[in-house]
Amino acid sequence: MKELAYLFWLFARIGGLTFGGGYAMLPILQRELVDRLHWVTEEELADYYAIGQCTPGIIAVNTATFIGAKRKGTVGGIVATVGVVFPSLVIISIIAAFLEGFADYPVVIHAFAGIRVCVCVLVLNAVINLWKKAVIDLPTLIIFLVVAAGSVFLDLSAVIYVIGAGVSGIVIQLLKAKGGKKA
């Protein structure tokens, strides 16, 4: 019970202090869960992010669910999910009650402009951290470049890129294994 309470508190704190969504949360999750608590490895966190991106729902919520479930099973997944969502629910409810009357004030407009820039930097930091763990050799670089080019130039669902990248990873590993048996 004590660990469940800690799990809720940890994810509530992370959810309450993370601005910019799931990608902005990655550096905080890495610092807390990988570096400080050692609950997951960097590779596991990157995998949870990848799976969280590929499944329906919000990436931060999905990732919290995976980590909570790893720690304490289904109940842990539920507790971590409620924890990460709870601060946002409270904060958004308060903001929604008051924002409409202040949204057109120049100071509010400028504050949101500054926050958006900050979020871009946090997302870039998350991308760089994921890049270091995901693009590890020439085949993964090629997959990255193909997906990046496709997402810029083609109007396809992200699901297609994810499935294509997953199949490519499997094929590459099978070819490597087959090549290794001949040597």
What is residue 50's predicted lDDT score, i.e. its pLDDT?
Answer: 82
What percent of the chain has a predicted confidence (pLDDT) above 70? 96
Rounded to an integer, what is the distance from CA 32 to the centroid of its chain?
14
What is residue 17's predicted lDDT score, i.e. its pLDDT?
Answer: 80
CA 83 vs CA 14, 171, 182: distances in Å: 9, 39, 51
The model's pTM: 0.63
Average pLDDT over residues 81-85: 94
Residue 131 pLDDT more than 70?
Answer: yes
Which stretch, 25-34, 77-86, 104-113, has highest mean pLDDT? 77-86
170: number of Cβ within 10 Å: 10
What is residue 183's predicted lDDT score, i.e. its pLDDT?
Answer: 44
